[in-house]
A and B are shown apart, each in its own frame.
Chain A
Amino acid sequence: MSLAVPTLQLDGVTRRFPASNGKGVFTAIEKLSFSVRHGEFVSVVGPSGCGKSTILNLVAGLDHPSEGDVRLSGEIVTGPSSHVGFMLQKDLLLPWRTILHNVEFGLEARNFTPTMRRERAFRELRRCRLTEFADRYPYQLSGGQRQRAALARTLAIEPELVLLDEPFSALDAQTKLVLQRSFAQTIATSGVTTLLITHDLSEAVTMSDRILVMSERPGRIVEEIDVGLPDRENPMARQAMPRAHEIMAHLFNALHLDERIEA
């Protein structure tokens, strides 16, 4: 794979759904084009219902565009591929499996021997600092630990691209900050390309290289911001930088949050 080919590329992607009243169609996203370079961390922000999760489903190959192409390293996505890992607000850990076996889950669709699976899983658990929890069940972990286990599972398949759909939004404010830093470090060390969908403007600014701002439905990209801050692996340090606050204020205006009446 050459570096010139973006890891992810969307080309005039439109997704329509049958309208809920049964007649006609309704456009969730329209003529969406953007690309994510190898190793880049890109965030997508936008109002609720603008089609952010729809993008994620299209990239993961769980859904298909009505028009346009989604390409992974140059190849058109036609279905789920082993190069993409995704993670949601829900940790989606299997309650009947230990953390170790949850992390192994994604590897079970591959031709791995049990020993290889175990080694790989332990490597990711170490990276996410969860080794001592390997034999516990999900209910025995805190919300933040569960999300880290979910990240370990996502990284275990060594994806080229990781999709994160609001992975921190169910956590309390403090856990969230700690976890954002933990994720930032883990993602930086693994060097994986990341697309983060979020509602949280400061999260977008402190974690990513680039931010895509989407409009109300039908979702399009209305702005693209190069964050241009150092210390991507330490969101807390970024938080303190003046430029970060400028971007946040700018995003705040771009999304017209001050004019919005409804949530």
Chain B
Amino acid sequence: MADSIAASSPDTAPIVAEDNPAAPPPPGRQEVRVSLLPVASLLVLVLILGLWQFLPTALHVPKYIIPQLSDLVREMGRMWQQENLLMHSVSTATMACLGFALGALLGAVFGYLLGLSPLWEKVLSPYILALQIAPKVAFAPLFIMWFGYNAWPKLIVTILVVFFPIMVNILQAMRTVDRDLINLARAYNMSGRQIFWKIRFPASIPSLMAGLRIGATLAVIGVTVGELMGGEIGLGFLITYGEGQANTAMVFDAIFVLTLIGIAMYWVVAAIETRALHYIPKAHH
């Protein structure tokens, strides 16, 4: 018995199955279905666009309730030429990115600081919970009263909205770092600073990324609410302006561009996440 086991030297031990993620699925129905997936999605899009174009007129829905697709396209062109759509879009995108970056930075810094001082975390945790629950966008009018109709209110709302999910995610990650890993580093005589940079911080990256993904989508909401409240720039302003003119197409178009900005931000964060978390096997992703 000993001989038969001795024959399989540990060096020839097989590498685990996860090592080979590129194993092709068995050809057949499954494969066909997977390759048809994008086509199906595209078909749904065409169907919806088609319905949007023809259903309103067919059902005699007035244009100021739901404009036709062609109206939306025409209005988009008009907004580009006459309403300075580019400037408004750039303003909103800049504010969203800036608010997102600042909110993420602050959220991360507070998350790590509180994560490193359990005492402060315990002291502050009821207030953190309360602030986390409070609807941050509702603060917008307050900030307008304080700072006036400028960039600050929307920026602060965005920072607030982005701050919490990121801070809470990092706190959670810091709390659940494997004690044995920390002990291992301690046994190697590592300083608190080394333990942070070599264990706690990298261990928190998956949670940080998840927080950033949530934050990226919330940032657009924060800026939009800020712009809806007042001021004369941004897609949120175009929405209120369009509303005042009973220009439904303008409102729809502004929402569309806002969504695009949100998708772009989300996509950038997701791409960074994929690169940062390359060490996590895909199957578990």
- Interface residues in chain A, defined as those with a beta carbon under 8 Å from any beta carbon in chain B: 57, 60-62, 80-82, 84-86, 88, 90, 92, 94-97, 105-106, 108-109, 129, 137-142, 144-145, 148, 157, 174-175, 177-179, 181-182, 236-237, 239-240
Contacts and interface: CB of A to CB of B under 8 A. Distances in A.
Nearest to A85: B187
Contacts of A57: 183
Contacts of A92: 178, 180-181, 184
B23 interface: no
Contact of A86 (B8, B11, B187, B190): B187
Majority-rule SS of B interface residues:
helix
A142 B198 contact: no
Interface in B8-26: 8-11, 13-16, 18-19
B5 A62 contact: no
A2 B8 CA distance: 41
A84 to B, nearest CB: 7
Nearest to A138: B279
B199 A239 contact: no
Contact of B194 (A61, A109, A129): A109
B36 interface: no
A139 B281 contact: yes
Contact of B13 (A60, A90, A109, A142): A142
Interface of B: 2, 5-6, 8-11, 13-16, 18-19, 178, 180-181, 183-184, 186-191, 194, 198-199, 202, 205, 279-281
Contacts of B2: 236-237, 239-240
A107 B205 CA distance: 24
Contact of B15 (A85, A96, A105, A141): A141
A140 B199 CA distance: 20
A9 to B, nearest CB: 19
5 contacts: A60-B187, A81-B189, A105-B198, A109-B194, A141-B15
A181 B2 CA distance: 11
B188 A142 contact: no
Contact of B181 (A94, A141, A178, A182): A94
A157 B279 contact: no
Contacts of A60: 183, 187
Contacts of A236: 2, 5-6
A137 B181 CA distance: 17
Nearest to B181: A92
A84 B15 contact: no
Nearest to A62: B183
Contacts of B5: 174, 177-178, 236
Contacts of B281: 139
Given A108-B194, A109-B194, A174-B5, A144 B13 contact: yes
Given A88-B180, A95-B280, A236-B6, A145 B13 contact: yes
Nearest to A84: B187
Given A80-B186, A92-B184, A109-B194, 15 more contacts: A57-B183, A88-B180, A94-B198, A95-B280, A96-B279, A109-B189, A129-B10, A137-B279, A139-B18, A139-B281, A142-B16, A157-B188, A175-B13, A181-B6, A236-B6
A157 B19 CA distance: 29
A61 B189 CA distance: 10
Contact of A61 (B10, B184, B187, B205): B187
B10 A178 contact: yes
- Most interface-central of A57, A81, A105, A144 (chain B CB within 10 A): A105
Contact of B8 (A95, A142, A178): A178
Residue picked from A57, A62, A178, A179, most chain B C-beta under 10 Å: A178
Contacts of B183: 57, 60, 62
The 10 closest A-B pairs by CB, nearest first: A236-B2, A106-B188, A137-B279, A139-B281, A109-B190, A80-B187, A109-B189, A96-B279, A96-B202, A60-B187
Contacts of A148: 10
A105 B180 contact: no
Nearest to B283: A139
A225 B190 CA distance: 37
A141 B180 CA distance: 21
A105 B10 contact: no
A142 B189 contact: no
